[in-house]
Amino acid sequence: MDVGATRGRMAAYLRDHQDKVVSRWSELVAAGVRGRTSHDEVRRELTGIYTLITRVLADADEHAAGELRATLDELSRSRARDGFTPSETALAVFSLKEAVYELVADSAELVAEFLAFSRLVDDLGLRTFVAYSAAREQIIADQASAMMELSTPVVRLWDGIIAVPLVGTLDSARTQLVMEKLLEELVTAGASHAVIDITGVPTVDTEVAQHLLKTVSAARLLGAECTISGIRPQVAQTIVSLGIEFGDIATKATLADALALALRQAGLKVVPQ
Amino acid sequence: MERVPILKIGPTLFVSIQIDLQDDSVLALQEDLADQLVATGAHGVIIDITAVEIVDSFIGRMLTMIGSISRLFDAETVIVGMRPAVAITLTELGLSLKGVRTALNAEKGLEILNGKS
Amino acid sequence: MDELPIRSGDDVVRVRQHVRTAAAASGLSLVDQTKLVTAASELARNTLVYGGGGVARVEAVKSANGRGGIRLQFTDEGPGIPDVDLALTDGWTSGSGLGLGLSGARRLVDEFELISKPGTGTSVTVVKWSRLTSRCWRRRPGTCAGCG
């Protein structure tokens, strides 16, 4: 069977019945969107996709397939942003089959053509699903990254002394961010002391300790001395039982103690007025 | 091959690395510094790497060696101006440049050199 | 894909500069660019010093989800590495030799592949992908080379 001729016949049929099919398709899709998009907008979107599908079937030009893919990807992305589920978007595409089937059901001659057409629409529907997942993953990654940035402030405690109060787990991604922000602030503030407060870090195991050591190592390359503060009693016990050594890095129970130490090291003293 | 110039100001030798250094140039710098330390009796060396974008393990080792050589001549070396991206990369490589002091800039580097007595 | 010869110290510098430009164009952050160029420097030096010279190939790549990245390949027809596992051991000392360069370079990149046979030469391929940062997030999509 000549696939080209089959598709060509389908393309011609779709072109001839465009208005009827697009109207029915819009009806089916509009029922699913439940008012989230206007009927006119739905019809416009679908007409665009319909024309592209027709062109692809007719093998009229080589750009049609690429354009169709791009249009569907964009549709998935915008639907994802608007809060539609991937099923809703995919079903919207699949319902084109229903719209066409209602018309060809009576004419036996287009059976072969319809099968090929059906397969094409299936692929397109699945494609929207894949594109949807990718879009959602991107959004989640964006939000995670923004959250991480927000929860890593670097503050200036005094001339030449900055502090990084860490809140949450310290994994390798977070450590990279902490190092970048800490070092940048060391340069901007011209600081020579950094206090890394880990009161808000729930668990300190060997991995977290290694991340802390790495951070201190990087700060030292910029000439800064570091103190780790906020070591809670249970954390202290864990550290000792795991055999973690902080070597020559000063550690203090509270941020206040660390500040006092840093001031002393900077040759400063706090006296009553 | 580019030779990095060494300036003497008082008891301190200043080296400012401005260009992307080839291995030969780094080795030559090591030799030149050793010569200058002997010739001038300088007490300190400041190596400014503010303009250096890449410090790999070879250059890192060279810097550590310069520190050791200087110490043999009773001089202290301070590496100043390391860029944050470079520091993070060196840390990832596991290089801590033991044996050399570090500072944010030449001014702070001089404070370190003058502080030691 | 660009091919650069590695026959001299100057060539190593050229490779660094080329990789820097390519990494920036693919949207890698400054720190990631620095890491990749440093890894390239290590590998190019190995190719020159231990491989007797060779070739570096630089290619911009795109991941399945549209993220930009750079692939580097360093090949030489030198003596090859007799003990690959040993050469890849994490060494934190200042020991000279193959060890530090390779294991260090591996930590700086996202993907690392080493193929070496004594007598046939060595080929190291590394890939580094651009990362999403919150700075990216605030920009409009399509304006950052790394996020496409």
Amino acid at C139: R
User: What is the count of structural domains for chain A?
Assistant: 2
In this complex, do A180 and B88 lie within 8 Å of one another by their Cβ atoms?
yes
Give Cβ neighbours of residue C61 (< 8 Å, ≥ 6 apart). Answer: C68, C69, C70, C71, C127
Report the CATH number that the domain containing residue C15 is assigned in CATH: 3.30.565.10
Name the residue in chain A with its Cα closest to that of C133.
A145
In this complex, do C16 and B22 lie within 8 Å of one another by their Cβ atoms?
no
In this complex, do B55 and C10 lie within 8 Å of one another by their Cβ atoms?
no
Name the more confident of B84 and A74: B84
Q: CATH number of the domain at B6-110, please?
A: 3.30.750.24
**What confidence score (pLDDT) does residue B116 get?**
54
In this complex, do B94 and C104 lie within 8 Å of one another by their Cβ atoms?
yes
User: What is the count of structural domains for chain C?
Assistant: 1
Domain assignment present for residue A271? The answer is: no
A180 and A129 housed in the same domain? no
For residue C124, the 8-state DSSP code is: E
Report the CATH number that the domain containing residue A27 is assigned in CATH: 1.10.490
Name the residue in chain A with its Cα closest to that of C136.
A142
A85 and A183 housed in the same domain? no
Q: Which of A162, A164, A221 to mutate to test binding with chain B, by most B CBs within 10 Å of its CB?
A: A221
Measured distance CA(A223)–CA(B78) in Å, rounded: 9
B104 → closest Cβ in A179, A217, A222 = A222
Name the residue in chain B with its Cα closest to that of C9.
B22
Contact between B36 and B12 (Cβ < 8 Å): no
Contact between C26 and C69 (Cβ < 8 Å): yes
- Max mean pLDDT among A28-37, A145-154, C1-10 falls in C1-10
A38 and A172 housed in the same domain? no
Name the more confident of A34 and C38: C38
The whole domain housing A64 covers 3-145
Domain assignment present for residue C145? The answer is: no
Res. B22 pLDDT band, cuts 50 70 90: confident
Using the 3D structure, point to which of A127, A145, A163 is the last residue of a domain: A145
In this complex, do C30 and B85 lie within 8 Å of one another by their Cβ atoms?
yes
By the CB < 8 Å criterion, does B46 face chain A?
no
Helix axes A39-58, A18-33, angle to 10 degrees: 130
Q: What is the ipTM of this complex?
A: 0.94
Q: Which of C65, C90, C136 to mutate to test binding with chain A, by most A CBs within 10 Å of its CB?
A: C65
A73 and A121 housed in the same domain? yes
Domain assignment present for residue C57? The answer is: yes
- What is the full DSSP assignment across B18-32? -S---HHHHHHHHHH
A25 and A136 housed in the same domain? yes
Domain assignment present for residue A176? The answer is: yes
A214 and A115 housed in the same domain? no
A58 and A160 housed in the same domain? no
Using the 3D structure, point to which of A88, A123, A145 is the last residue of a domain: A145
**What confidence score (pLDDT) does residue C33 get?**
97
Domain assignment present for residue C44? The answer is: yes
Rounded to two decimals, the pTM is 0.77
For residue A220, the number of C-alpha atoms closer than 13 Å in the C-beta half-sphere is: 20
Residues of chain B contacting C34 with CB distance shorter than 8 Å: 53-54, 83, 85-86, 88-89
By the CB < 8 Å criterion, does B7 face chain C?
no
The whole domain housing C62 covers 2-138
**Which pLDDT tens digit goes with each residue over A254-273?**
999 999 999 998 888 888 98
**Per-residue model confidence as pLDDT tens for chain C (148 residues):** 999 999 999 999 999 999 999 999 999 999 999 999 999 999 999 999 888 999 999 999 988 766 889 999 999 988 888 777 777 776 533 344 455 578 889 999 999 999 988 888 999 999 999 986 545 544 445 555 554 4
Q: Which of A77, A138, A139 to mutate to test binding with chain C, by most C CBs within 10 Å of its CB?
A: A138
